Amino acid sequence: MDEKIILGAVIGILSSAIGSLVTYLFHTLDRKKQREWDLEDKEDQANQQIYFQRLEEFEVYLEVFADRYTYIYYQFIPVSDSDIHKKMMQDGEINFPLLGKTFPLYYLMYYFDDAELEKLFDQFVSVNEDIVSIYTEYKEELENGEVVDKSGYRARFTDVNFLQCYSNLIERIDYLKSHYRK
- What pTM did the predictor assign? 0.64
Residue 102 is predicted with a pLDDT of 60
Alpha carbon separation from 27 to 22, 23, 30, 114, 152 (Å, rounded): 9, 6, 5, 42, 77
For helices 150-159 and 115-143, the axis angle rounded to 10 degrees is 170
- Give the C-alpha separation, 135 to 73, whole Å: 10
- Give the C-alpha separation, 109 to 5, whole Å: 78
> Per residue in 108-126, pLDDT tens?
777 788 889 889 888 888 8
> Per residue in 38-80, pLDDT tens?
999 998 888 888 888 888 888 888 888 887 787 777 777 665 5
Alpha carbon separation from 50 to 56, 112, 181 (Å, rounded): 10, 11, 10
Q: For residue 71, which of 92, 56, 99 has the smallest C-alpha distance?
A: 92
Residue 64 is predicted with a pLDDT of 80
> Per residue in 132-163, pLDDT tens?
888 888 888 877 877 777 778 788 877 778 88
Residue 30 is predicted with a pLDDT of 92
* Structural contact between residues 110 and 118, judged by C-beta atoms closer than 8 angstroms: yes
Question: Of how many residues is the chain composed?
Answer: 182
Give residue limits of the domains in the chain. Answer: 45-179
Ranking 29-33, 161-165, 167-171 by mean pLDDT, the lowest is: 161-165
> Per residue in 81-107, pLDDT tens?
445 545 554 554 545 555 555 667 777
